[in-house]
Chains A and B, each alone.
Chain A
Amino acid sequence: MMEQAFFLILAAFAVGAALSVIIQRSPIYSAFSLIGVMACLAATYIMLKAQFLGAVQLIVYAGAIMVLFVFVIMLLNVRKEENTLDKHRYLWLLALPFAATLIVEVLYTILKVTSDFTSLPEMAKRPIIGDSQSIGYGLFTSYLMPFELTSILILLAIVGSVILARREKE
């Protein structure tokens, strides 16, 4: 009961912050709303007993990626988004039906299907996963190949961003 109330509060915060991301005109406000969403999601991960990913969510997403966003916003000194709403009113007309379709579709599916999820008998017997040990074990056994490939991806990203952001010397 308590857990459900806590989840509802978190979810309300997350949805409110997410709405604020797209409503705010100033990118820095969007960025901080997004950090709020990420913090709420980290808390939900911990509720799901995935403490390791909860901490990693805060360290990587909120602590590193978003710092990068805020840094770029500050570097380019973007105070306000240009007001082009009148020119692009048709985008809202496109977006709202799209959103409505998406949400109705997904919620309908969830309501229709989830009743089967929780009743699997063998699930209760398995140990709880989500601590660093099970994640590490998985990464270095069955997911070793993707794990190693991400390191190549990161190397590529580093080289790419250095080349892109470098100023050409005359």
Chain B
Amino acid sequence: MDIYKLIEWVVKIGIVFLILMHALAYIVLLERRLLGFIQMRLGPNRVGPFGLLQPLADGIKFFFKEEIIPRDADRVLYILAPIVALVPALTTIAVIPFGDTINLFGREIELSVTRVDISLLVVLALTSMGIYGIVLAGWSSNNKYSLMGGLRSSAQMISYELSLSLSIVGVVIFSGSLDLAQIAKEQMNTWWGIIPKWNIFTQPIGFMLFLISVIAETNRVPFDLPEAETELVAGFHTEYSSMKFAIFFIAEYANMVTASAMATLLFLGGWHGPFVKDFPLLGPVYFTLKILFFLVLYIWLRGTLPRFRYDQLMKFGWKFMIPVALANVVLVAALALFLF
């Protein structure tokens, strides 16, 4: 291992971490402004021009809030819970490629923190670890609303993880690889020079299944049962305050970014777009724009849809999503067999 490789890694980790943290802060602002727009009000616009300094104000506020640990809470698990939620959420970003290899200072640099040949499985494995943060928070708070929230989230995540994995199987069959970068490269070409060969066109059912399950996995509206305000106060994070609460928030938004990046890589051709072959640095720009599209979709859904009831959620997951996902796998496998 040479010293340049080490420097490259440190620089990549630093850049990705910094960009991610700032992006997360501004996604919150985007969400608040956009929700305000949808609900015909202004949203936060006082701090700085257009409210652009609002994330800074929020951060300062979180730091100076009083830290409260309930007397009968399980202290060790209570403090561990936000950490367990945050670490997998941030680690996942490390294996996500956001562009092709570029030439910089005479070195071939891969545009991802690290390249793993089974990165798709790594993402699935790490996101499935993220449940424990929520479950631990619900258990350790010693509060019935928190416990209900934790229970609901574990049941919901197991159920929708099945249809999530099954919807990805179709893409894996088509591209024959578990490497996210390879999957994105497979979608580089076009049909008749105009329509890009994105997986969304070859398997729309898989895409819809993936989108729905991923929204359920990240606990967002209309599947935000674990923190349903109207019935469970605030669900699993009822007892959390100050920075610990903020960490849950960061983890949730990091998971949203991961989910959007996965949707982009698997179905929307990753970093591909016009002129990327000539200017590889355009790749990350397209990638960011596509992620932004999914994030706006998330917020839009939150502004539009009501929440599912718990039994409806379970019925939908087990009696609709999974059968359709299984049928889709069979369909895609048959297509792959006869077309290739």
Contact = CB atoms under 8 A, between A and B. Distances in A.
Q: Are A and B genuine complex partners?
A: yes
Interface of A: 28-29, 32, 35, 42, 51-52, 55-56, 58-59, 62-64, 67-68, 70-71, 74-75, 77, 131-132
Interface residues of B, number: 26
Contact of B117 (A32, A51, A58, A70): A51
B299 to A, nearest CB: 28
Given A55-B122, A62-B125, 18 more contacts: A32-B77, A51-B117, A51-B118, A55-B125, A58-B129, A59-B128, A62-B129, A63-B129, A63-B131, A67-B128, A68-B158, A70-B132, A70-B139, A71-B135, A71-B151, A71-B154, A77-B147, A132-B118
A70 B128 CA distance: 14
The 9 tightest CB contacts between A and B, nearest first, are: A63-B128, A58-B125, A55-B121, A71-B154, A59-B125, A55-B125, A74-B151, A67-B154, A70-B135
B155 interface: yes
Interface of B: 77, 116-118, 121-122, 124-126, 128-129, 131-132, 135-136, 138-139, 147, 150-151, 154-155, 157-158, 161, 178
Given A55-B122, A64-B161, A132-B178, A28 B151 contact: no
B128 A28 contact: no
Contacts of A56: 121
A52 B118 contact: yes
Nearest to A39: B129
Contacts of B132: 32, 35, 67, 70
Contacts, number: 70
Contacts of B117: 51, 131
Contacts of B128: 58-59, 62-64, 67
A63 B151 CA distance: 15
A36 B158 CA distance: 20
A75 B157 contact: no
A132 B154 CA distance: 29
B178 to A, nearest CB: 6
B125 A67 contact: no
A1 to B, nearest CB: 14
B147 A55 contact: no
Contacts of A42: 125
Nearest to B119: A55
Nearest to A55: B121
B154 A59 contact: no
Contacts of A59: 121, 124-125, 128
Contacts of B155: 71
Nearest to B116: A51
Contacts of B147: 74, 77
A55 B150 contact: no
Contacts of B138: 74
Nearest to B122: A55
A75 B128 CA distance: 20
Given A63-B128, A64-B161, A74 B135 contact: yes
B119 to A, nearest CB: 10
A109 to B, nearest CB: 34
Contacts of B121: 52, 55-56, 59, 132
A51 B120 CA distance: 12
Nearest to A62: B129
B167 to A, nearest CB: 15
A102 B128 CA distance: 35
A70 B154 contact: yes
A18 B128 CA distance: 22
Contacts of B77: 28-29, 32
Contacts of A29: 77
